Amino acid sequence: MKCPFCNAIGTAVVDTRPNEEGDVVRRRRRCMACGKRFTTYERADLRLPLVIKRNSGRVSFNREKLRASLQLALRKRPVTTEAVEHAIERIEEDLLAMGEREISSQQLGELVMAQLRLLDKVAYIRFASVYRNFEDVDAFSRVIREVSRRERQ
């Protein structure tokens, strides 16, 4: 494993732990050259569906793009990195469970919104406002009322 800090090749595994579900292994590593520590995650390489964009183009599912979208919605919100990783894993599990070779970007957006709703209501509203492209204040207000209603239940 190459060190992300100094690009040296030699690293040593300091600690290895599986996650609670047992499908991801977390490894703490230490660079033999610079001594800095970093974490890597090991998971099975499964075939996720292609994403059909609105312009009908097809792209591979991109975990990093999904993470960036979640982090943007969650910016300055009190949500841990672990919680974001779990949300990404649940989205990937949902995609695999569908058993489809292709999925529309709209379907993927709905999966993301479902996870954001569980993580943080403000982040959910942020994402929904961009994703659903609200045309007016009334549409925005409806989503806020929906979130408020579900929170009281």
* Per-position DSSP letters for 125-140, written without gaps between them: HHHHHHHTT--SHHHH
**Residue 147: which pLDDT band, with cuts at 50, 70 and 90?**
confident
For residue 88, what pLDDT is reported?
Answer: 95
Q: Under a CB-based contact definition with an 8 Å cutoff, are residues 19 and 26 in contact?
A: yes
Residue 40: partners with Cβ closer than 8 Å, 6 or more residues away = 1, 26, 27, 29
Question: Which residue matches tokens 């408020």?
Answer: 148
Sketch the domain layout of the chain as residue ranges. 1-44, 46-152
Buried b (16+ CB within 10 A) or exposed e, 70-87: beebbeeeebeeebbbbb
- CA–CA separation, 26 vs 32, rounded Å? 19
pLDDT digit string (tens) for 117-140? Answer: 999 988 988 888 777 766 667 776
**Residue 152: which pLDDT band, with cuts at 50, 70 and 90?**
low
* Per-position DSSP letters for 14-41, written without gaps between them: EEEEE-TTSSEEEEEEEETTT--EEEEE
Residue 106 pLDDT greater than 70, yes or no: yes
Residue 62: partners with Cβ closer than 8 Å, 6 or more residues away = none
pLDDT digit string (tens) for 34-78? Answer: 999 999 999 877 789 999 998 999 999 999 999 999 999 999 999
Mean pLDDT, rounded, of the chain? 89
For residue 102, what pLDDT is reported?
Answer: 95
pTM score above 0.75: no
The 8-class DSSP code of residue 49 comes to P
